Chain A
Amino acid sequence: MTMRRRVVFGLTGAVFLRPALAGDAEMAAAIQRFTDGATPVGGRVHLDIAPLVENGNAVPVTIRVDSAMSAAEHVQQIALFNQLNPQPDVAIFKLSPGLGRAEVSTRIRLATSQQLVALARFSDGSFGMQRVDVIVTLAACVE
């Protein structure tokens, strides 16, 4: 076998032996379902997560949205999606003006280094978004 063939076989193996994970298309579809086709704008949503994650089994995240949280103008929903876990959904938070502050925290699993997207649905029907890339050194058990 020539060197060149070996390289080609090696590359094909690398492409097809990846575990079954969601991808960009699944995440884009999940975002599309959440926003119902509307285009989210950046700026008001803040996704706080460590850029370098040592343990993917429990990663603290906080999502904060700039909003007065009044009856007239508030955040209705906050959603978190991921790119490369087996499923794109992480959690959807439903808020009400009585909370007074649009800030939620939880702990999530990350199967590998990937991109996370936080979205907010405002009471006027518009959407905000922030994308964050994280590097995971110890992945959460998927298999």
Chain B
Amino acid sequence: MARTLITMPSKARRGELIEIRCLIGHVMETGYRRSDDGQLMPRDLIRAFRCEYGGAVVFSVELHAAVAANPLIAFWLRAADSGPLRFTWEGDRGFAQTEVLDLRVT
């Protein structure tokens, strides 16, 4: 399991815009670099990220090799209803990780 750091408020007023910042520990190996013994290091990327809220995917990203290691993805969300936010990362070599955070809307 990779380490993740998701920064967002735990509660918000209905209709309020909140910023969500998602970090995950991952090498994002491009497949263009060589190791010390001259071998090409195999590509190992996170390819996709998505955020589900209120039963729908509200935001998703397609990532390529030009995204830096330990990718940061930040976006905004309008608080609508209390409920969980599901954050999912998927990548090469079967990488998949999901984090769930609750948002309380008052």
Contacts and interface: CB of A to CB of B under 8 A. Distances in A.
Contacts of B63: 91
Contact of A100 (B21, B33, B77): B77
Contacts of B65: 85-87, 109
A103 to B, nearest CB: 6
A100 B78 contact: yes
A104 B74 contact: yes
Nearest to B31: A86
Nearest to B75: A104
Contacts of A109: 30, 65-68
Contacts of B17: 100-101
Interface residues of A, number: 31
B58 to A, nearest CB: 5
Interface residues of B, number: 31
Nearest to A86: B32
B66 A108 contact: yes
A142 to B, nearest CB: 5
B68 A58 contact: yes
Nearest to B28: A109
Contacts, number: 100
A99 B66 contact: no
Contacts of B30: 86, 109, 142
Contact of B69 (A58, A93, A98, A143): A58
A98 B78 contact: yes
Given A104-B75, A142-B33, A143-B32, A92 B61 contact: yes
Interface in A71-93: 82, 85-87, 89-93
Interface string B59-100: 111111111110111111110100000000000000000000
B59 A87 contact: no
A141 B41 CA distance: 12
A95 B67 contact: no
A100 B76 contact: yes
B68 A93 contact: no
A59 interface: yes
* Top 4 A-B residue pairs of the complex, sorted by shortest distance between their CB atoms: A100-B78, A105-B74, A101-B76, A58-B68
Given A99-B78, A103-B76, A106-B61, 8 more contacts: A82-B66, A87-B64, A92-B61, A93-B61, A94-B59, A98-B54, A98-B78, A109-B30
